């Protein structure tokens, strides 16, 4: 393919006309299939395509209400028995004593 510097005026005009035709056809295809025009990404790379914000944008474009957020049940806070807490503390004291002995 020739570079733009080696083209004459007529060739450049033809290239611009072809480019405009391509853009027009892509817009028609997008309208036909309901997609965004080619070359326009609606999300950043690495993002999920069907995320919450995408669904909200779809609902807004359609003129309907956005889907409600799902709420998760909170788990009950887990408690350690006093015996287990003492075993953990004893094991930690043993590790500290070993580290102190090695440092000395």
pLDDT tens digits, one per residue of 54-68: 777 777 777 776 556
Per-residue pLDDT at 41 exceeds 60: no
Structural domain harbouring 36: 1-41
List, in sequence order, every beta strand (DSSP E) within the chain. none
- Asked if the structure places residue 69 within a domain, the reply is no
- Asked if the structure places residue 23 within a domain, the reply is yes
- Asked if the structure places residue 50 within a domain, the reply is no
Q: Which two tokens stand for residue 92?
A: 């930690």
- Asked if the structure places residue 27 within a domain, the reply is yes
Helix, strand, coil in percent for the chain, rounding step 5: 60, 0, 40
Distances from the Cα of 6 to the Cα of 9, 13, 56, angstroms: 10, 13, 49
pLDDT of residue 22: 94
- Asked if the structure places residue 19 within a domain, the reply is yes
pLDDT of residue 72: 82
Centre a 10 Å sphere on the Cβ of residue 90 and count the other Cβ atoms it contains: 10
pTM for the structure as a whole: 0.31
Q: What is the mean pLDDT of residues 17-31?
A: 91
pLDDT band at 6 (very low <50, low <70, confident <90, very high): confident
| Burial label, 30 (beta-carbon count in 10 A; 0-12, 13-18, 19+) | middle
């Amino acid at each position: 393919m020739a570079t733009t510097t080696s083209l004459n005026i007529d060739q450049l005009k033809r290239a611009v006309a072809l480019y405009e035709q391509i853009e027009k056809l892509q817009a028609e295809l997008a309208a036909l299939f309901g997609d965004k025009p080619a070359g326009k990404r609606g999300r950043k790379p690495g993002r999920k395509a069907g995320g919450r914000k995408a669904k909200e944008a779809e609902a807004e474009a359609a003129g309907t209400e956005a889907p409600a957020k799902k709420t998760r049940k909170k788990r009950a806070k887990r408690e350690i028995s006093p015996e287990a807490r003492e075993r953990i503390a004893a094991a930690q004291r043993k590790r500290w004593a070993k580290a102190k002995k090695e440092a000395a």
